[in-house]
Amino acid sequence: MQLPLSSQMNNQEIGKVFNFIAEVLAAQPGNQYRVRAYEDAGVFIEQQNHSLAEEYALLRQKEPEKAREIFREKLLAMPAIGESIADKLLELFETGNISSFQKYLKNVPAGVYPLVQLSGIGYKKASKLAEAFRLYSANMALEKLLAAAEAGKVRDLEGFGEKSELALIDLLQKQYQKKRIPYAEAKKEADELVQALSEIPALSQVTVLGSLRREAATVGDIDLGACAEDGAALRAALNQIPLIKKVLVAGDNMIRIYTIHDRQVDLKLSKATEWGSFLQHFTGSKEHNIRLREIALKKGLSLSEHGIKIKATGET
């Protein structure tokens, strides 16, 4: 298979790729160091609020000769990013590919990757399903697997049964339905969460972000933003909210939760002093933010979710 890579991938997409490679290597002997390194890098990258791809693209525009060296040093200063991973990220942003990752997947069916994006399906289970039902096309994998499950063919596989087959059917059907969420539906669910989160003392601000904040007709994901100074108190409080079924990832900058509506929601966190810039950035769109950064650079300024700085002095 070939991973669907691009130089314009966002942090969540990049993090998923690293986590997937970690799962692939974990199924093979003698790769435990790389597995841990890729897992740590994947989680860290997903938690970053600022787009690494956008940052490097803007740096290449401003300082084309020194951009690679400058950005590599910045990557190496980050937790969980060593020399090997830094070079892979640079390769991705410059070429749209990570050649070593593609080599790991030479004998992996293409249908495995879309399957592991589903909640509750890991690499081993996805591989078994892909081999059994010849899921060699990433674009057709979910459709073919749903047809097989609805025909009662999954329950006969070792490790599966009628109950797991029905759960798989439900999961796949929901996956098709949630490709784009109607605005009214997304707003209703988001408003419920905002109301519940607003009652947490550790939060001083809570609101919707992204396309939902822009009131787009349909929404790809539900993203929320919050102003939090006490991350530990917040993470403890989340486990007490009935609307939240599970906390999937709990980092310093982002918390990923799974709701009783079987919806994955990202809660991005900001400092009180950066709240205005944070809202502007994560309201988007991506193209809008790129244009604003280009204007800022021409004026000798640096614009990010953390605020506006004078590049020459670093003053805000």
Q: In whole angstroms, how far apart are CA 303 and each of 47, 54, 258, 300? A: 19, 12, 32, 10
Predicted local distance difference test score (pLDDT) of residue 176: 61
Give the alpha-carbon dihedral of 165, 166, 171, 173, to 10 degrees: 110
Amino acid code (one letter) for 33:
Y
Q: What does the DSSP assignment read for the chain?
A: ------TT--HHHHHHHHHHHHHHHHTSTT-HHHHHHHHHHHHHHHH-SS-HHHHHHHHHHH-TTTHHHHHHHHHHTSTT--HHHHHHHHHHHHHS--HHHHHHTTTS-TTHHHHHTSTT--HHHHHHHHHHTT---TTTHHHHHHHHHHTT-STTSTT--HHHHHHHHHHHHHHHHTSSEEHHHHHHHHHHHHHHHHT-TTEEEEEE-HHHHTT-SEES-EEEEEEES-HHHHHHHHTT-TTEEEEEEE-SSEEEEEETTS-EEEEEEE-GGGHHHHHHHHH--HHHHHHHHHHHHHTTEEEETTEEEETTT---
| Per-residue pLDDT, 178 | 52
Domain coordinates of the chain in residue numbers? 11-104, 112-177, 181-278
| pLDDT of amino acid 177 | 56
Tell me the DSSP string of 20-49: HHHHHHHTSTT-HHHHHHHHHHHHHHHH-S
What is the reported pLDDT for 139? 81
Instruction: Look at the domain 181-278 and name its fold.
Output: Beta Polymerase; domain 2 (3.30.460)
For residues 4 and 214, give the distance between their C-alpha atoms in angstroms, rounded to a whole number: 28
CA 200 vs CA 170, 207, 279: distances in Å:
33, 13, 20
Distance, in Å, from the CA atom of 256 to the CA atom of 224, rounded to the nearest integer, reads: 10
Q: What is the pLDDT of residues 138-154, one digit of tens each?
A: 888 888 998 899 999 99
Predicted confidence (pLDDT) per residue in 251-280, tens digit:
778 888 889 887 889 999 999 999 999 999
Q: Is 136 exposed, middle or buried (0-12, 13-18, 19+ CB in 10 A)?
A: middle
The CATH number of 11-104 is which of 3.40.50.300, 2.40.128.630, 1.10.150.110, 1.10.3720.10? 1.10.150.110
Report, as ranges of residue numbers, the positions in the chain whose pLDDT lies below 50. Answer: none
